[in-house]
Structure 1
Amino acid sequence: MKLKLDKTNYTIAKFQPDFPVPTWFQTDKATFKSITYTDEECSIIMPTEHLDATEAQSIESDWFLLKIEGILDFSLTGILHKIATPLAEKEISIFAVSTYNTDYILMKQANLELAVTTLTTAGHQITT
């Protein structure tokens, strides 16, 4: 599987469920950013340097990103499994985000080298 590595430092932040989509999120031109609403929370993921976490209930910083290259058909199965399993065997925690086209996997910056080595050994191709 082809993966694209983004070494940008990302933060995952939790806000109140009624937190309005902030202007700083709307105007940011980051390669990857995500906002998700549930009845329990609003989660925002974006580059740390662009996130205004002053109203956040909780934040987790120091994540990097892997993007699965290409558009994934909804009928495909086991895509995340093929990536998550070798990482889990090395005790590397992931935070996965799926979009209509593909999947993104965030991991802690401290695990960057081990994650790249693990995934490459498992047969995945990683580009920057």
Structure 2
Amino acid sequence: MSDQTFSLFRFPETLAVVRLAPGAEIPDWAESSSIFSITATAEETSLVCAGRSVPKKARHEKPFTAFSVDGPLDFGMTGVLVAVLTPLAEEAISVFTISTFDTDWILVRTADADRAEEAWRRSGHTVAPAVPA
């Protein structure tokens, strides 16, 4: 178990994780929110976007709630994800993670968001509502 503790921010938007074909164009319905992510590989293109406009026919999972680790985080830091994911794993809370240049984002199913906050607090982390930019 890590002794590191972090501050996390909870974002209010409902998010979706969408799977598109490899090389797919980003659809017009893919709306930005607190986090908008496009990850493309030879096998697929994945989006994290606002969940409100994702068509039912699109292959997706939702609803998710996003938490970010207070950053920026130095690239030389180690154990950040271990520190924030271990309490969730111990509570059997599934995650979808994304890293950006400045920080790490943890998406949990919205139904598990309050449990995730409780698990983090018990582990010494702090969680606060995100302040809109």
Common fold: TM-score over 0.5:
yes
Q: Give the aligned CA root-mean-square deviation in angstroms.
A: 1.5
Instruction: For residue 49 of structure 1, give the secondary structure of its aligned residue in structure 2.
Output: coil
**Structure 1 position 23, deviation (Å):** 4.0
Q: Residue type matched to 1:60 in 2?
A: E
Query: Which of 29, 36, 41 does residue 38 from structure 1 map onto?
Result: 41
Following superposition, the deviation at residue 20 of structure 1 comes to 1.3
1:13–1:53 CA contact under 8 A, matched in 2: no
* SS state at 2:46 partner: strand
2:37–2:49: 8 Å Cα contact kept in structure 1?
yes
Residues 50 and 78 from structure 1, CA distance in 2 versus in 1: closer, same or farther, beyond 3 angstroms? same
Unpaired segments ≥5 residues, structure 1 = none
Matched AA of 1:35: I
- Structure 1 residue 8: deviation in Å? 1.6
2:28 is aligned with 1:8: no
How big is each residue's C-alpha offset from its partner over 1:58-90, in whole Å with a ceiling of 9 and x where there is no partner? Answer: 210111010111111111000010011011001
Q: Which residue of 2 aligns with 1:95?
A: 96
TM-score, normalised via structure 2 length: 0.86
Residues paired across the two proteins, number: 124
* Counterpart Cα distance in 1 of 2:100 and 2:128: 20
Cα separation, 2, equivalents of 1:11 and 1:50: 9
CA separation in 2, counterparts of 1:93 and 1:39?
A: 25
Higher share of residues assigned helix: 1
TM-score (norm 1): 0.89
Amino acid at match of 1:103: D
CA displacement at 1:53 relative to structure 2: 6.2
Where does structure 2 lack aligned partners over 5 or more consecutive residues?
Answer: 1-5
Contact persistence 1:35–1:43 (CA under 8 A)? yes
